[in-house]
Structure 1
């Protein structure tokens, strides 16, 4: 079950964290994974690690907010073979209210988290249509549907990802393109460790425990758990699923009181 043999998948932000976990899961399931990332060194190491484990992966340095660069790369890869799966995972976080969010910060969040997803959708969908269909998976967040403290710009961006997911799912039914999104709560990634080290030096363990317990299940998700759900949603076994948002949140959305 959940084989991606003979499939080619683009995973943006695939060099670390959730993106890397998705890339690894897809490669283990037989896919050729194209890792898109802003950091060429990390992307190269990620692809090499996958190849050393027997998978297929290539690395590609690209800024998803630059449509011309994304288009050139996608067209190049499509000329080498059909694209079957797109995972829009690349994104950045931000902490702040509407008052404390500067215009520069707002523009940056929009450029990467919203326009970056649009750019990849805009350039990849024609190739999915040419291949006779495919699967798109977007990375949203519980912030898309819940009011969270100090997450004004980030919530805005993930709300846009959720609604882009629904729009694409509706528009491309006839082209046999499925589109869903995953909305994680807190996931234990290198970003979390860096955030704690920067903002709570000497208190990392205590703050990690406090953040973990904001999920009713009592812990943060692990990246590979997101990877497992992504693999299912992009496999043929999920062929009847489109236009859905999957909260992977340890009960955060429905059970928090």
Structure 2
């Protein structure tokens, strides 16, 4: 059985992506804190005849990343990794603490490094999709750490695409505003795409994307 890992899959884009991938793959639903919501995702997949497990882990911790990947290999052959887990904040740069900058990079950039590093030795071939952001391409004010981290994700994607391809195809998706808990917590109600729209684009790039592509949603 072919397996897909989705990090941060208990809600939002990760949840929608896990449900979509489950139509074709066994899915590892990674979560950090939201166990009950992760189990709801697993139940939804199983109720539709799919196969899934929930695996707790903080992707910014390399040992956790290795454990997430090891759990996936017990289900079958790892073919897909969707690096979705991320953190976001908005505040004036002058009020941003070094620890806040570091935490955003730990999850958004080092988390992807950890998951990719732990995964590639288990992939005979496969596809890696990193979730970037439109503001990694077109940065906005009051979000310097997040914008910088997502720009790093795009650069990481393009570099690894050259290094790991064609055996492992590395691509990224850059969503605009998406209706998630994280967005509502920071910005309140605002026009935003449903997570399912992003999940559909992730599936499209898995099927037809080219190495190093960063597809804007």
Task: Confirm or deny a common fold (TM above 0.5).
Answer: yes
CA contact (8 A) 1:114 1:160 kept: yes
1:114 aligns with 2:95: no
Q: 1:143, CA displacement in angstroms? A: 1.2
Paired residue for 2:31, among 14, 34, 37? Answer: 37
- Does 1:153 find its partner at 2:145? yes
Alpha-carbon distance, 1:16 to partner: 0.3
Matched, 1:142 2:134: yes
Consecutive unaligned residues of structure 2, counting only runs of 5 or more, are none
Give the Cα–Cα distance (whole angstroms) in 2 for the partners of residues 189 and 72 of structure 1: 27
Coordinate RMSD, CA, aligned: 1.5
**Partners of 1:169 and 1:179 within 8 A in 2:** yes
- CA drift of 1:152 comes to 0.4
Distance 2:154 2:161 in 1: 11
Say which SS state the counterpart of residue 45 (structure 1) adopts: helix
Alignment match, 1:57: 52
Q: Does 1:26 align with 2:21?
A: yes
Q: CA deviation at 1:189?
A: 1.5
1:196 to partner: Cα distance: 4.7
Q: Secondary structure at the match of 2:122?
A: helix
1:229 aligns with 2:206: no
Could you tell me which of 227, 235, 241 is aligned with 2:210?
241
- CA offset at residue 49 of structure 1? 1.7
Q: Once the two structures are superposed, what CA deviation does each residue of 1:148-197 show, in whole Å capped at 9, x if it has no partner?
A: 021100011101111110011000125x1111101011011122333355
> SS state of the match for residue 77, structure 2?
coil
Taking the aligned partners of 1:143 and 1:193, their CA distance within structure 2 comes to 17
Is the alpha carbon distance of 1:147 and 1:193 closer, same or farther for their aligned partners in structure 2, counting shifts above 3 Å?
closer
Q: Secondary structure at the match of 1:84?
A: strand
Q: Secondary structure at the match of 1:99?
A: helix
Q: What's the TM-score, normalizing by structure 1? A: 0.80
Match of 1:201 in 2: none
- Residue ranges of structure 1 left out of the alignment (5+ in a row): 1-5, 198-207, 213-219, 249-257
Please list, as runs of the form range in 1=range in 2, the aligned pairs for 1:1-257 lying within 5 A after superposition. Answer: 6-28=1-23, 30-39=24-33, 40-128=35-123, 132-174=124-166, 176-196=167-187, 208=189, 211-212=190-191, 220-235=192-207, 238=208, 241-248=210-217
* Alignment deviations for residues 208-252 of structure 1 (CA, whole Å, 9 cap, x no partner): 3xx42xxxxxxx2111111111112123xx1x611011111xxxx
Classify the secondary structure of the residue corresponding to 2:85. Answer: coil
Contact preservation (8 Å) 1:96, 1:153? no
**Matches of 1:133 and 1:142, distance apart in 2:** 28
Higher alpha-carbon Rg: 1
Q: How many residues align?
A: 216
